[in-house]
Chain A
Amino acid sequence: MSGSVKYLFLLFLSSSALFSSSQKVLLHRKSSSVLQRNETAQSMSNAGRWFYTRTSLLGSVVPTPISGDIGMSYAGCFFFGNDHRFTRSISRHLSWGWGLGFQLLTYGIRQQKNNALSNQVLYNRQSLNTYALPVDIFIRQHFTQKSNTLGWYLDLGWKGCWNFYQLLVSQEELDPKVNQGVGRRYIYNSRLDYVSRWAQFGVFRMGRGHVAVGVMHRFTHFFRTSNSIYAGKLLPDLPRWIGTIEFTFWNRNKSAKKDEDEL
């Protein structure tokens, strides 16, 4: 029997079996398909609809050894953010989202002999603050059946920030005897031309329900060159990792009203 004839014969047998089916199955179910205990899927009830949340972020710079002339006082580092986020389901496992917000990042600078950020005067406390408007885009993996921020989820995203205001605050402890009772003096330097106006972060966070923890890694250099400081050279970069804890809120009543209006 040649190859083609043999192939045709097998094809005929399978086709015959197809056309000669006996009883008609109207319903066939396996209970295991209904009760998959380890299923990882999200609700699609919000598919095709933006899910709006407000998120407050608190955090700090992750202690990281840095080289150079700038010493860090990690106790004085602080991060605060407030985001308005919108997520939308893509599939049973994935959502994507974007957000707009505001963030404040403060780097505490340790007192040191060679103060790189201003003059050679020694200070008791110094902080470098950046006020920024971030835009972030993220993809969200869901691990439970609940949609959007409900249930366990993991986000991977990108955040771009415009540092619209920079402020260096220096606190100097004065000798009261010399300064007639004035013991503390603050010096404010703003619109620092040696701080980059733009920053990019990679964002990774994991959460459940209203609470999430995450880390942000800055891809860009914190400083830029300026003739006004550090002899025109680029200052040593500050720590790039920021740890955050996030609290997310959404208006469930409003969601329900929207559903009702659409009926």
Chain B
Amino acid sequence: MNRKQLLTRQESRLNLPAAISTPPPPRQEGGRFFNVASLCKIVWKASVLFLTVILSAVTGHAMSGREVYEKVHEVRSKMLDRKTEVTMVLFDKGGGKRSRTLSEYCKRSVPEGYKVLVLFRSPPDLKDVGFLIHARTFAERDLWVYFPEYKRVRRIPTTSQDDSFFGSDFSYDDFGGPPNLDDYRFSIIKEEVLDGRPCYKVEVTPKVRRKYTRYIAWVAKELWVQLKIDYYQDKELYRTGAFKDIKVVDTIPTPFSLNVENRKTGHRTELTIESIRYHTNFTDELFTQRSLERSGR
């Protein structure tokens, strides 16, 4: 199911007036347009829904894991039009540290895809190295990389979504848009307070076995952003991600500090957002191979 279908489904479930006002389909048998039994059913369903809304407003609705992630999905979707200036610091297990700065341009594309251009600004060895992502869906995407020393744009073949993004502790999945919720199963383990914020602790399990067989995520209530994710390979904790310094920018809650650690190698990557701008509405020309070669110019 794509995101549009998903949203339609949400609307049909949550938008009560829309649900009530939707006329029932005409009955074929007997040639009668109006069917009493059908009308009774609609009235009954509407009554149940109405009662449910009222009750949840009074008692507080117990959300499902899926519903939590639908909220997260919504927030992440809003982030898709943006320009970000980022500092990335890679720490190896021996204490060595390498810093790099990069600019990221992102644009939502129809129907649920997105385009991303990442350009390295420093260190000098990596200046003007860039990546271009054209995602049709979360799983289907084309990826190119440009190395100025060779003056060549190279296509990166379809990789495992969980593969390391060029030595960092981020995966290709961590760049770009939100995943398709239908590919996962969600269940709330419990509610917990993390970094002073009430959270849902949700277990996320991919339906098809992937590198990480399950995730435990802490989703901040009200903000609907993930504050922490533990990535497991079967029972072994493989990677952890912490999202801190959350600020609301243009009504979008945004974590300004990300810290991802590979527990297996001891390698760690810290990502700090220096500046972020939403609703950028970049033109498609920015996300071309030509633009990649010209460092976004």
**A-B complex is real:** no
**Chain B residues near A (Cβ < 8 Å):** none
**Chain A residues near B (Cβ < 8 Å):** none
